[in-house]
Amino acid sequence: MLKFKYFLVFGLIFIAHLVAGVFYSGYSWWLVAGGILLLLILLALACANIRWNFFIKATNRIPLSVQQLQSGAMPVALTFDDGPHEHTPAILDILAKYNVKATFFVIGKQIPGNEAILKRIAEEGHLIGNHSYSHTGSLYARSASAIRADIAQCNRLIYDVSQQEPKLFRPPFGVTNPALAKAVTQLDMSVVGWSVRSYDTMAKDEAKLLRKIMKGIRFNDIILLHDRCPITVAILPRLIEAIQEKGMQFALPEVPTRA
């Protein structure tokens, strides 16, 4: 929330300065309108960029302890959004074959009818995170309490099926705003973003997608994938092998403990 508060204070001073300029220095009102527009554009960009940590602190890379750094550990986290889905079992088969653990950010409304898949995710040792119940853009027009109810509904469904109590939340589309930040804080959950966005939902070419993910991959990256995409199922074995060839290990995004 800190950056947002600074932004509010700075924004008010900035606009007050421009308004004073209209009266004392002959500034045009257009300049004031331009200033307000600039602040609104900045705010929209902040909502769209989870990695700015503007409204709430998100974990966008795996946090590493000094000991881990000294021991030369190079963990990478695979995360799969938008399931449970009919393609999820194929993802689970591949992960089991390579003995890799991953994190699944599931959508609440996807759970009814797919309970067996969610149960399997939990039973095979993967971590389940919350990706909201409704996964709709209109979530961001709702009050903090309405967003909290949506997230809590997804938590309840996850718990009923898997007995896992989700502590991690990934906002739909990676969008954050003050109401969402408040809801997540009240639920005592941690926001997890990513450092590598694959855009697998739009990808058509397997080799290109693989290259895009592997380009510039670094240790403690959190990779965003979608288990509902057939292309992700298709490239997953090659992706796992390419990451292992770099000497990296697969890990879960660690839950940061709150002080």
Map tokens 């890799």 to a residue.
Answer: 100
Identified catalytic residue from 131, 221, 226, 227: 226
Q: Which of residues 71-90 bind Zn ion (CB under 5 A)?
A: 81-82
100 vs 229 by CB, closer to Zn ion: 229
CB of 200 to Zn ion, least distance (A): 11
Number of residues in contact with Zn ion under rule CB under 5 A: 2
**Exposed e or buried b per residue across 68-86, where buried means at least 16 C-beta atoms within 10 angstroms of its C-beta:** beeeebbbbbbbbbbbbbe
82 vs 227 by CB, closer to Zn ion: 82
What is the widest separation between alpha-carbon atoms in the chain? 72
82 vs 254 by CB, closer to Zn ion: 82
74 vs 222 by CB, closer to Zn ion: 222
Handedness of CA 12, 17, 22, 27 (dihedral sign): negative
CB of 131 to Zn ion, least distance (A): 6
- List the structure tokens of 102: 């991953």
Whether 226 is a known active-site residue: answer yes
Q: Which residue is nearest to Zn ion (CB)?
A: 81
Identified catalytic residue from 81, 82, 221, 227: 81
Whether 81 is a known active-site residue: answer yes
131 vs 148 by CB, closer to Zn ion: 131
Q: Which of residues 8-27 bind Zn ion (CB under 5 A)?
A: none
46 vs 107 by CB, closer to Zn ion: 107
- List the structure tokens of 218: 């670094």
CB of 125 to Zn ion, least distance (A): 23
CB of 169 to Zn ion, least distance (A): 12
- Provide Rg for the chain, Cα atoms: 21
CB of 245 to Zn ion, least distance (A): 29
CB of 201 to Zn ion, least distance (A): 9
Helices 2-24/29-48 angle, 10° precision: 170
227 touches Zn ion by CB under 5 A: no
- Chain length of the chain: 259
Which positions touch Zn ion (CB under 5 A)? 81-82
Residues annotated as catalytic (active site), given as ranges: 81, 226
